[in-house]
């Protein structure tokens, strides 16, 4: 009886471990984004990791959808893939007040970036894809999502489900970047002021040292004069 209970307990633990490990593996198998900066209005490079194929089928193409809040995107070359960009006409909301340079830059917007495999990526191998762009304005906690369509030799997967903080992750979440607070101009001004203050203190130090050296020279000169007068008096007295 005791032996049966022990075997039953061992089997239960094994099943539980398998479920936990399987869940962890599924959670880590999503297409994810890792950004060099998450501050609103900052320039960043997001690296998207594609960890597997479609149910065992090799990956042949990835289409990254660019959100409307992002205007221009620069894809990083991957020697195993060819790159194409789709664009559409774009007019900035405040184009009437924008400069000619800003208006020209906003003439079109990148809507998607497509990586097509020169040789299909095996289902049990991973690859990464990097896109550089300016993050939009927003408050901390806002998400900037890049839905991805992963096409394989057999089948495809749409990584396009919205994620919400504090809620369970969907089955096929869209890779996203969670914004943090923007770097304000005031912070830069404070840094500049601090640097100027440090420079002023450094400049004042040589002046202070010079004063001490000058005072020391006067003291040495006075002592020398006293010694010279005393020596003269001794010589006169000896005569």
DSSP string, 88-127: EE---TTGGGS-HHHHHHTSEEEEEEEEEEEEEEPTT--E
Residue pLDDT, tens place only, 153-188: 999 999 999 988 788 989 999 999 999 999 875 454
Q: Which domain holds residue 113?
A: 31-183
The token duo for 6 is: 């022990």
Whether residues 91 and 11 share a domain: the answer is: no
Do 50 and 98 fall into the same domain? Answer: yes
Task: Let me know how long the chain is.
Answer: 239
The number of domains in the chain is 2
Interval 44-79: pLDDT, tens: 999 999 999 999 999 999 999 999 999 999 999 999
112 and 39, same structural domain? yes
Q: What secondary structure letter does DSSP report for 31? A: -
Confidence of residue 196 (pLDDT cuts 50, 70, 90): very low
**Do 75 and 120 sit in the same domain of this protein?**
yes
Cβ neighbour number for residue 92 with a 10 Å cutoff? 15
| pLDDT greater than 50 at residue 23 | no
- The last residue of one of the domains, among 183, 200, 222, is 183
12 shares its domain with 118? no
Residue 198 pLDDT class (50, 70, 90 cuts): very low
Instruction: Copy the structure tokens of residue 98.
Output: 């924008």
Which residues make beta-bridge pairs with 202? none
Residues 54 and 71 in one domain: yes
Nearest alpha carbon to residue 136 among 193, 176, 165: 176
Query: Quick one: 64 and 96 in the same domain?
Result: yes
Residue 124 lies in a domain: yes
79 in any annotated domain: yes
What is the token pair recorded at 36? 């060099």
Q: Are residues 88 and 147 in the same domain?
A: yes
Closest CA to 157 of 145, 143, 175, 144: 175
């Amino acid at each position: 009886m005791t032996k049966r209970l022990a075997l039953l307990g061992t089997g239960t633990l094994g099943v539980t471990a398998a479920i936990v490990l399987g869940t962890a593996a599924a959670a880590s198998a999503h297409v994810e984004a890792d950004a060099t900066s998450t501050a609103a209005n900052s320039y960043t490079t997001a690296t998207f990791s594609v960890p597997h194929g479609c149910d065992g089928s090799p990956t042949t193409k990835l289409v990254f959808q660019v959100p409307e809040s992002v205007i221009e995107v620069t894809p990083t070359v991957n020697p195993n893939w060819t790159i194409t960009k789709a664009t559409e006409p774009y007019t900035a909301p405040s184009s009437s007040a924008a400069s000619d340079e800003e208006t020209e830059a906003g003439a079109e917007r990148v809507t998607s970036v497509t990586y097509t495999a020169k040789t299909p990526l095996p289902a049990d191998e991973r690859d990464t894809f990097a896109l550089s762009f300016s993050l939009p304005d927003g408050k901390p906690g806002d998400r900037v999502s890049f839905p991805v369509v992963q096409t394989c030799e057999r089948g495809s997967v749409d990584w396009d489900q919205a994620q919400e903080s504090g809620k369970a992750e969907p089955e096929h979440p869209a890779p996203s970047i969670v914004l943090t607070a923007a770097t304000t101009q005031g912070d830069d001004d404070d840094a500049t002021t601090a640097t100027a203050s440090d420079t002023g203190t450094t400049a004042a130090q040589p002046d202070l040292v010079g004063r001490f050296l000058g005072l020391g020279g006067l003291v040495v000169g006075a002592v020398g004069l006293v010694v010279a007068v005393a020596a003269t008096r001794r010589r006169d007295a000896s005569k």
